[in-house]
Amino acid sequence: MLTRLTVLILSIVLYSFFYVLTAPGWFYIKDTPLACAIKQNDPHTFNSLLETEDFEIKDGSGNTPLSIAVDEVNYNFTKELLEKGANPNARSDFADRPIICEAASRVCYPRFNRSKDTARDIVKLLIKYGADVNARTILGETAILRAARCGDAKLSTILIKNGANVNIFSRQGVPLHQAIYKSRRSKSYETIEALIAGGANPRVKNYKKDYGKTAIDLAKGYNDLKLLKILEKSNSTASLSSYTSERTTLTYKDRRIESILYRYGIYLPAYKINFITKYPFLFIILMLPTLIACLTGVVKKDVFLITAGALQPHIIVAGFILILFIGDSS
C-alpha cells in the first residue's frame, strides 16, 4: 500500500511533468512574429506583418495578437487589429480568459507607464467592436467585478452603460460587495454609487464570502452611515435571477454531475460544471495522485468527498471522477 510520503512525491513529480509539457514553446511556437512586434512596440514590423500574417494565430500561451495588444495596453495596435476583423471575444487557450476581462485588469493594474485612461479607451474600443461585457473567466469573473474590486468608478460606469450585469455572481461574490471591500481601504464611495445607479441590489445575499450577508448588512456591521445612505437610494428589484438563469444553461450530462456532487454536499455553479465537462482529461491528469491515494486507501473516500467542497475546484472534480471510477456507494 502506498504511504502518504509516496503519494506526496508522486504528486510533485506528476505536477512538474504536467507543468513542463504545458509550458509555452513545447507544442506551439513560443512567440509568433506578429506577437513579437506587438511586445516590442514595433509599428513598422507590425503593419507589414498585419498584411501577410493570420492575426488569429495564437502564441505558446494560447493568446491571439489582439489579446497581447490589450495586455500591452497598446491602443493603436488594438484598433488596427479590430479594424482588420480580429475577434474581440477570443479567449486564451491556457487560462480561458476573455479579452475584455484582461482589458479591465489593465485599468486596475496598469503596465509600465501606460495610463489608466488608455486602458479605459481600449475597453470602449472592444465594446464598440462587439466584445461581450458579461463574458466570464473560468472563475466566473466578469469585467464589472474586476472594475468593482479595484474601485474604478469610471470603468464601472463605462461597462454599466454598455449592458454589464451589476448583480452577476462569481466565485468572489457580487460586484457591490467587492466595491464595499475596496471602499474600506480607499475611503471612496464613487464605485458604489455607480453600481447603485446602474441597478445593483444591496439586498442580494453573498453566500460566497460573507455568510449570506447583504451589502446593507456589511454597512451596518461597519457602522458606516454614509454607505448606508448610498445603499438606501437603490430602487433595484434585482434578485438571484442572474444566478438562477445561469444554472438553466446546464446540459443533461452537466445536471447529472451537479446532482452527484450535491449528494455529497459539494455545490458548484454552472460555469464550473461546464468547464469540468469541457476539459475532463486535464483534471484527470492533475488529480491522478489524489485518485491513487483514494483508491489505495491512503485517503478515505467519504472524508475526501466531504472536505472537497472547501478545497479548490480541481480537487472537487477529482471527487467526481472518483465516484465514476469506483461507483456511487451512498
For residues 294 and 191, state if they share a domain: no
For residues 260 and 226, state if they share a domain: no
Share of the chain above pLDDT 70, in %: 58
- pLDDT one-digit tens code per residue, 280-316: 665 556 556 555 655 655 545 444 444 444 344 444 4
Highest-confidence range of 17-31, 55-69, 144-158, by mean pLDDT?
A: 144-158
- The predicted pLDDT at position 140 comes to 82
For residues 42 and 130, state if they share a domain: yes
Tell whether 9 is covered by a domain: no
* pLDDT confidence tier of residue 52, bands split at 50, 70 and 90: confident
Write out the three cell numbers for 234: 437603490
Tell whether 42 is covered by a domain: yes
For residues 292 and 204, state if they share a domain: no
For residues 123 and 103, state if they share a domain: yes
Mean pLDDT of 48-60: 80
- pLDDT one-digit tens code per residue, 214-250: 898 888 888 888 999 899 887 654 443 333 334 334 4
- Domain, as residue range, for 176: 25-240
Task: State which of 240, 274, 309 marks the end of a domain.
Answer: 240
For residues 204 and 261, state if they share a domain: no
Mean pLDDT of 25-48: 79
Task: State which of 240, 267, 301 marks the end of a domain.
Answer: 240
- The predicted pLDDT at position 92 comes to 75
Share of the chain above pLDDT 90, in %: 32
For residues 221 and 292, state if they share a domain: no
Write out the three cell numbers for 237: 428589484
Tell whether 3 is covered by a domain: no
For residues 221 and 86, state if they share a domain: yes
Tell whether 224 is covered by a domain: yes
CB 176 within 8 A of CB 145: no
How many folded domains does the chain comprise? 2
Compare 233 and 175 and report the one with higher pLDDT: 175
Tell whether 12 is covered by a domain: no
Compare 62 and 11 and report the one with higher pLDDT: 62
For residues 72 and 157, state if they share a domain: yes
CB 149 within 8 A of CB 172: yes
For residues 180 and 292, state if they share a domain: no
Compare 107 and 20 and report the one with higher pLDDT: 107
Tell whether 14 is covered by a domain: no
In angstroms, the CA 312 to CA 86 distance is: 34
For residues 232 and 257, state if they share a domain: no
* pLDDT confidence tier of residue 264, bands split at 50, 70 and 90: very low
Q: What is the CATH number of the domain that holds 90?
A: 1.25.40.20
Tell whether 159 is covered by a domain: yes
For residues 190 and 273, state if they share a domain: no
Nearest to 139 by CA among 11, 6, 272: 272
Task: State which of 210, 240, 270 marks the end of a domain.
Answer: 240
Tell whether 18 is covered by a domain: no
